[in-house]
C-alpha cells in the first residue's frame, strides 16, 4: 500500500491542491484511497465535506495530533496533506510513514530560498522514502521553471513536472472535485501535466 506525503514547510504553495487531486486520481481508478490531513487548518478535510456523493469515494483518514497511524483495513492508497511549518518529531513521523514524498514548490526565488534548508535536509535524508519536487503555478517553458530545475538538480532531487496557474483547480475545489471528476475536454491542458507525476508515483 503506497503512502504518498505532500510536504513543504512553507505555506501557500499548493499542497492541498496537489494532495486532493492526487487522491482524486486514485479514486477515479477504482482504488480505495484515504486522504489524511495532518494540518490543523484541515483544508483537505473541509474539501472532502464538499465532495458530492456521486463522485468516486475518497475516505477521510483522521490523523490525530499529527501522529500517523495505520490506515483502515482495505485501504489501497494513502495521500497525506501536511501543514506549513512541519518539522521535528512530526516531520520524522511523516518521513517514516511515507513511501514517496512530493514537495510542491513555486518557482519564485523567494519560495526557493524559503524552502532551501528543508530541501537540503531531504536530499541528505536516509529514510526509505523517495523524494521529488513538483513545480506549482508555473509555465514549464519559462525562465522561472529553468531556474527551479537548475536549483533542485544541484541537490540531486528530480523535478517531476510543472502545473500551470489556472482557475480550473480553484473552481473544481470549490465543489469538492478534481481534474478526474469532469469531462477531459474541460481540463485538456491540465491532464498531460500530470502524466510524469503519476508515472513516478506509481512506479
Q: What is the mean pLDDT of each run of 10 residues along the chain (203 residues)?
A: 91 91 97 82 81 94 59 87 84 86 89 85 77 88 82 85 93 96 97 95 89
Considering its fold, how many domains does the chain have in total? 1
CATH number at residue 92: 3.40.50.300
What is the predicted pLDDT for the residue at 45?
Answer: 80
Q: Residue 39: count other Cβ atoms within 10 Å of its Cβ.
A: 22
Q: What is the pLDDT of residues 5-21, one digit of tens each?
A: 999 988 888 999 999 99
What is the predicted pLDDT for the residue at 60?
Answer: 83
Cβ(31)–Cβ(128) under 8 Å?
no
Predicted TM-score (pTM) of this structure: 0.90
What is the predicted pLDDT for the residue at 147?
Answer: 81
What is the predicted pLDDT for the residue at 51?
Answer: 95
Residues 6+ apart with CB under 8 A from 169: 17, 21, 163, 179, 190
Long-range contacts of 26-29 (CB under 8 A, 24+ apart): 26/76, 26/77, 26/79, 27/55, 27/56, 27/57, 27/58, 27/180, 28/56, 28/178, 28/180, 28/181
- The angle at the Cα of 23, spanning 142 to 8, to the nearest 5 degrees, equals 55
What is the predicted pLDDT for the residue at 28?
Answer: 97
Q: Which domain holds residue 34?
A: 3-202
What is the predicted pLDDT for the residue at 157?
Answer: 85
Amino acid at each position: 500500500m503506497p503512502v504518498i506525503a505532500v510536504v513543504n514547510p512553507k505555506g501557500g504553495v499548493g499542497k492541498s491542491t496537489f494532495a486532493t487531486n492526487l487522491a482524486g486520481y486514485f479514486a477515479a481508478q477504482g482504488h480505495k484511497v484515504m486522504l489524511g490531513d495532518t494540518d490543523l487548518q484541515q483544508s483537505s478535510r473541509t474539501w472532502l465535506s464538499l465532495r458530492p456523493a456521486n463522485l468516486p469515494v475518497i475516505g477521510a483518514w483522521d490523523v490525530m495530533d499529527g501522529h500517523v497511524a495505520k490506515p483502515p483495513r482495505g485501504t489501497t492508497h494513502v495521500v497525506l496533506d501536511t501543514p506549513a511549518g512541519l518539522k521535528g518529531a512530526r516531520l520524522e513521523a511523516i518521513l517514516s510513514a511515507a513511501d514517496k514524498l512530493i514537495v510542491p514548490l513555486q518557482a519564485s526565488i523567494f519560495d526557493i530560498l524559503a524552502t532551501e534548508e528543508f530541501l537540503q535536509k531531504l536530499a541528505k535524508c536516509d529514510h526509505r522514502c523517495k523524494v521529488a519536487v513538483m513545480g506549482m503555478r508555473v509555465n514549464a517553458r519559462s525562465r522561472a521553471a529553468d531556474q527551479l530545475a537548475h536549483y533542485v538538480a544541484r541537490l540531486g532531487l528530480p523535478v517531476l513536472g510543472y502545473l500551470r496557474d489556472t482557475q480550473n483547480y480553484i473552481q473544481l475545489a470549490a465543489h469538492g472535485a478534481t481534474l478526474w471528476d469532469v469531462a477531459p475536454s474541460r481540463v485538456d491542458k491540465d491532464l498531460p501535466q500530470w502524466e510524469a507525476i503519476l508515472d513516478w508515483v506509481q512506479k
